[in-house]
Structure 1
Amino acid sequence: MTSPAKPLVYGLITARGGSKSVPKKNIKDLCGKPLIAWTIEAAKSAPSIDRLVCSTDSEEIAAVAREFGAETPFLRPAEFAQDLTPDLPVLEHALTWFRDNEGKMPDLLVHLRPTSPLRVSADIERAVALLQAHPEADSLRCVAKAPHHPMKTYRLDADGGMLQPFIPESVYGIPEPYNAPRQALPKAYASLGYLSVIRPRTVLELHSTCGKNIVGMIVDADNAIDIDSAIDFEMARIAMAQRLGMTP
């Protein structure tokens, strides 16, 4: 019995240069290395990744990415690097660039954000293998136990400012779930920016970053710190220092 052929896997680090909450966040020093370097090193340590590319609009970030071992075959156009730019056009740009300029695309694309520096390469390997084991799936996303159960959340009625359950009781048939113990509610998982694995057809044909058939992979939330603010950066610094045996 022949084993399935190894897919061609590209890692894509998306790192724009216009961070507002933490200036120059993606190249800011974290425990002795630029933030982006931790993601590059984790990806370079994952045998499944055949090629590692950084998509950025910044020459400064591109130079740092190359220094630590990532390729920067293109600079991302400014129109795809705005404050409110979603992931989809960024992924579309990278994949169409590979197709139009190199004549080929990967079988799987591992999307990595430099804002998750505590990511471990073993999770990259597990994610690639898991999506490969599900050929019917469009993508894989990482999740962790939701810190706040969605059945205990509300929305405000626009007319009178009255609270309404965000998830109607009729959905699960549990009376007053907002007063129920967590153990009585269905398990809920929060989506993470830790890493995702995507089939190119999901992006280019379905025009989606994940599609409808999504494999879920539970990861350790302690590894999935996502830096969005100065406080997040300090939390990541302390966690990384502890991991490295340094004084926080």
Structure 2
Amino acid sequence: MILGHIGARKGSKGVPGKNFRSLCGKPLIDWSLDQLFACPAIDAVVVSTDDERIYDHAAAKGALEIGLRPAHLATDAAPKWGVWQHALAAAEATLGAPVEAFVDLDCTSPLRLPEDLAGAIALFQAQKPDMVMSVCEARKNPYFNLVEADETGALHVSKPLPGGVWSRQAAPKVWEHAASTYVLDSAYLRRAQTIYEGRVIPFEMPPERCLDIDSPFDFKLVEMLMSERLNPESAQ
């Protein structure tokens, strides 16, 4: 069984109420929630939230009813891993059956496409890692144009290589952790304490589909891009 999950706290310092705020005609959470319900590989869906409005909304759409998220997992400092572990355990108790794979979509990253979700699941099933994590190619590279100051205040490349790297093309490829799409072996989620304890492999997505809403500017930018996707003729 594959369980789809979305975590959606009530609070947000950057954009108050953002998870249920309307984006191009529907609540932000629904851009991800609807993808889970529409994905043939997903057998059940659960939403972890401390917001009664979001909880009732998700349940009405068919999400498992596991109750509101515990208070200690509803703060802005609560680790995603603990939220996932709680949601998995609560969902399995509700289902009365074990879950083999856990798929998390970040509802603040609504620009992923259905094929991104399908591709991440397919990669997980083909390679059988502990976890598949969405990434995008980093705009800056620690081998080339990310720098740090030493104890004297002088700048140096963050990850120097012998002979130096003098062009971006010659630098080893690095990715940004894109908070969008994750697929985990449930056994790994139960036993590990952090994301990187096991074999975590990348699922690369285009940067424009990995934008994460963390500020009013981000919301406006994502809204503009989503509007162009829905109405391509208006972008001409």
Q: So what's the TM-score if we normalise by structure 1? A: 0.87
C-alpha displacement of 1:223? 1.5
CA displacement 1:212-247 (0-9 Å, x = unmatched): 312221112211111111100001100110011075
> Equivalent residue for 2:104?
111
Q: Does 1:14 align with 2:7?
A: yes
C-alpha displacement of 1:133? 1.0
Percent of matched pairs sharing the same residue = 34
Amino acid at match of 2:24: C
SS in 1 for 2:102: strand
1:164 counterpart (133, 138, 156): 156
CA displacement 1:131-163 (0-9 Å, x = unmatched): 11112x101011111111122212223x43232
SS in 2 for 1:140: strand
Give the alignment's Cα RMSD to 1 decimal.
1.8
C-alpha displacement of 1:45? 1.6
Q: Does 1:176 align with 2:164?
A: yes
CA displacement 1:141-200 (0-9 Å, x = unmatched): 11111111122212223x43232332132xxx3x333xx111111222211111010111
2:199 counterpart (190, 213, 217): 213
Amino acid at match of 1:144: C
* Of 64-73 and 53-62, the range deviating more from structure 2: 64-73
> Equivalent residue for 2:26?
33
Amino acid at match of 1:193: A
Amino acid at match of 1:163: L
> Equivalent residue for 1:237?
223
> Relative to structure 1, is the Cα distance of residues 34 and 112 closer, same or farther in structure 2, using a 3 angstrom cutoff?
same
> Equivalent residue for 1:50?
43
SS in 2 for 1:150: coil
Amino acid at match of 2:124: L
Equivalent pair of 2:136/2:204 in contact (CA under 8 Å): yes
Equivalent pair of 2:100/2:186 in contact (CA under 8 Å): yes
* Partners of 2:65 and 2:111 in 1: CA distance: 23
> Relative to structure 1, is the Cα distance of residues 50 and 99 closer, same or farther in structure 2, using a 3 angstrom cutoff?
closer
2:118 counterpart (125, 134, 140): 125
> Equivalent residue for 2:133?
141
Amino acid at match of 1:164: H
Q: Does 1:203 align with 2:189?
A: yes
Instruction: Give unpaired runs (5+ residues) of structure 1.
Output: 1-7
> Equivalent residue for 2:214?
228
* Partners of 1:71 and 1:244 in 2: CA distance: 30
Amino acid at match of 1:36: I
> Equivalent residue for 1:3?
none
CA displacement 1:83-104 (0-9 Å, x = unmatched): 1112111011112223445443
* Partners of 1:130 and 1:190 in 2: CA distance: 19
* Partners of 1:69 and 1:221 in 2: CA distance: 31
* Partners of 1:142 and 1:105 in 2: CA distance: 25
C-alpha displacement of 1:66? 2.9
Q: How many residues align?
A: 233
* Partners of 2:147 and 2:65 in 1: CA distance: 44
* Partners of 1:221 and 1:55 in 2: CA distance: 27
Instruction: Give unpaired runs (5+ residues) of structure 2.
Output: none
SS in 2 for 1:133: helix
C-alpha displacement of 1:73? 2.1
